[in-house]
């Protein structure tokens, strides 16, 4: 079984700490991630808003290249890449007409698209392949006394056909937190919309969402949030700046990628550069809990 890694745009820029931590964690768990060659934009979820085949081409080209490079599975860290690639694949493969048209259009590519490479999210690999029991054995610095809310947003669980867990009541990330010795807290707004791309044109919408989501987490006892989506992370973390300006009583909360906390719990060194990519400084909380 050959695993390929599809980074996507943000993992090389704003979410570099997501990629770095994931790479290190997977190395340590004996399943290193091998970046596929020649990848391009995943297509982003916009490609799924209409049934325009043209918009699926970016996703399909990535999958075709992964196929040609011999990968059985393509792992993504970013929830949106996971969602887009997987849905595009289903959309094209489940309709002969679509498949034919796409292949006709890509006649200059070296081979026809067959759809033999599966798209998998890293969380599924951790739970099903490596198993949480195995991870638990490797924890050297448990996240003791750290109460963490897992923020799923939409892309990991909807539509339900590609949900990585129960689409109404997922627990995979809370289980992971528990595995790392922390306390996974289920909070009401963990599946609410973060505001997504409204952050660009209607910033106020996102600010309100951030306010509600962080407050919901705080009321449930969370001290920090984890997520696997760079867009959610941007909205929930960076937008806390505007949220604090808009709502004076608002108190901030650090937001991590789940792999950052995994890295800490598995005894890897906290990289000081990661801090720069956080808006809300996570270091005081980590120090308070004796984790760095």
37 binds another protein (CB under 8 A): no
Q: Which of residues 70 and 188 has its CB atom nearest to another protein in the complex?
A: 188
Minimum distance, C-beta of residue 209 to another protein, in the bound complex (Å):
12
The three state secondary structure string of the chain is CCEEEECCCHHHCCCHHHHHHHHHHHHHCCCCCEECCCCCCCCCHHHHCCCCHHHHHHHHHHHHHHHHCCCCEEEECCHHHHHHHHHHHHHHHCCHHHHHHHHHHCCCCCCCCCCCCEEEEHHHHHHHHHCHHHHHHHCCCCCCCCEEEECCCCCCCCCHHHCCCCCCCCCHHHHHHHHCCCEEECCHHHHCCCCCCHHHHCHHHHHHHHHHHHHHHHHCCCCEEEECCHHHHHHHHHCHHHHHHHCCCCCCCCEEEHHHHHHHHCCCCCCHHHHHCCCCCCHHHHHHCCCC
Site for another protein in 51-70 (CB under 8 A): none
Which one, 73 or 192, has the nearer CB to another protein? 192
Which tokens go with 139? 């924890």
Shortest CB 170 distance to another protein, Å:
10
* Alpha carbon separation from 250 to 148, 214, 253 (Å, rounded): 18, 9, 10
State the nearest-atom distance from the C-beta of 165 to another protein, in Å: 12
In the complex with another protein, which residue's Cβ is closer, 37 or 168? 168
**Pairing, β 3-6 against β 255-257:** unpaired
Q: Contacts with another protein: how many residues (CB under 8 A)?
A: 7
Minimal distance, residue 257 CB to another protein, in Å: 26
For another protein, the closer of residues 160 and 272 by Cβ is 160
- 168 touching another protein, by CB under 8 A: yes
Interacting residue with another protein among 166, 202, 273, 288 (CB under 8 A): 166
* Sign of the dihedral through C-alpha 195, 200, 202, 208: positive
Site membership for another protein, residue 204 (CB under 8 A): no
Decide whether 104 or 169 has the Cβ nearer to another protein. 169
Binding mask 213-242 for another protein (x = CB under 8 A): ------x-----------------------
Region near another protein per CB under 8 A, out of 39-47, 163-171, 196-204, 250-258: 163-171
Q: How far is the CB of 188 from another protein (least distance, A)?
A: 4
Residues of this chain, 132-161, that bind another protein according to CB under 8 A: 160
- 188 binds another protein per the rule CB under 8 A: yes
Q: Which stretch binds another protein (CB under 8 A): 11-19, 165-173, 241-249, 279-287?
A: 165-173
Residues interacting with another protein, by CB under 8 A?
Answer: 160, 166, 168-169, 188, 191, 219
């Amino acid at each position: 079984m050959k695993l390929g890694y599809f980074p996507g745009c943000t993992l090389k820029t704003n979410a570099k700490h997501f990629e770095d931590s994931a790479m290190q964690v997977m190395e340590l768990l004996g399943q290193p991630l091998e970046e596929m060659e020649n990848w391009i934009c995943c297509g982003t979820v916009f490609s799924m808003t209409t049934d325009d085949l043209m918009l699926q081409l970016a996703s399909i080209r990535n999958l075709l290249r992964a196929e040609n490079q011999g990968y059985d599975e393509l792992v993504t860290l970013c929830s949106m890449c996971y969602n887009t690639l997987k849905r595009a694949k289903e959309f094209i493969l489940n309709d002969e007409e679509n498949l034919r048209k796409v292949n006709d259009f890509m006649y200059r590519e070296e081979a026809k698209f067959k759809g033999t490479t599966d798209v998998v999210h890293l969380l599924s690999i951790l739970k099903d392949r490596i198993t949480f029991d195995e991870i638990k054995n490797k924890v050297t610095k448990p996240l003791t006394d750290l109460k963490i809310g897992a923020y799923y947003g939409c892309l990991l669980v909807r539509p339900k056909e590609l949900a990585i867990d129960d689409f109404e009541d997922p627990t995979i990330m809370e289980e992971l937190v528990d595995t790392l010795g922390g306390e996974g807290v289920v909070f009401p707004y963990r599946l609410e919309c973060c505001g997504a791309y409204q952050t660009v044109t209607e910033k106020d919408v996102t600010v309100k969402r951030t306010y509600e989501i962080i407050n919901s987490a705080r009321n449930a006892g969370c001290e920090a949030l984890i997520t696997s989506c760079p867009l959610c992370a941007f909205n929930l973390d960076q937008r806390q700046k505007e949220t604090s300006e808009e709502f004076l009583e608002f108190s901030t909360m650090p937001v991590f990628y789940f792999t950052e906390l995994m890295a800490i719990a598995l005894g890897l060194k906290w990289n000081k550069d990661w801090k720069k990519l956080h808006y809300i400084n996570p270091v005081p909380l980590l120090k308070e809990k004796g984790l760095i």
